[in-house]
Amino acid sequence: MSPLEVTDESLLQRAGGGDARAFEQLYDRFSSRLLGLLRQMLGDEREAEDVLQEGFLYLWDHAGSYDPSRSRAFTWSVMIFRHKAIDRIRAMGRRARLNESAAVEMAVLEDCAVGADDTVEMKEQQKQVYSALASLPGEQRKLIEFAFLKGLTHHAIAESLNLPLGTVKTNIRRGLLKLRDLMKGGAL
């Protein structure tokens, strides 16, 4: 590195002081790598570009809180963009659940043949499922709730809880098997 070349850390600190030119240079250095990361996490070009823009706006607003003694500038930036991507994944999951919910509501409205007895039976089944879920060990219960009640993918769960993907999958599988046994055995 030549003595005239400015470090990422220096650029980020200058951007934290309001130096737009330093921030522009930081954008030029980081944007392609961060966009690649976001594409990989989100699997959608448009979403990745949106999160890239959101992330850089956040970076500009919070650059003053960067502490070079705690991490390198790129590492600090990656963490910000990673969290933004996880937030977007969660939001996309909520949108998908809303779409599914709307489809279910339409199906219910179209199928008015469901009688009161069926509704009572469904509510009783729902109580049994929640009771069985409550009897699972805490980690398995939490992972199943994230996957099935909150609609998060296994990858998103692993990222947000900082757990290995294999651990998430294994605990969800074990929890589902226990739920099945509880529901079949009626041991509630």
pLDDT of residue 21: 97
Residue 149 scores a pLDDT above 80: no
Residue 186 scores a pLDDT above 70: no
Q: How many Cβ atoms are within 10 Å of 150's Cβ, its own excluded? A: 13
pLDDT of residue 5: 83
Place of tokens 């199943």: 144
pTM to 2 decimal places: 0.51
Helix (H, G, I), strand (E, B) or coil at 59: helix
List of domains in the chain = 8-89 (1.10.1740.10), 114-185 (1.10.10.10)
What gap in Å lies between CA 8 and CA 179, rounded to an integer? 51
Closest to 53 measured CA to CA, from 20, 21, 88:
88
Q: What is the mean pLDDT of the chain?
A: 83
pLDDT of residue 105: 52
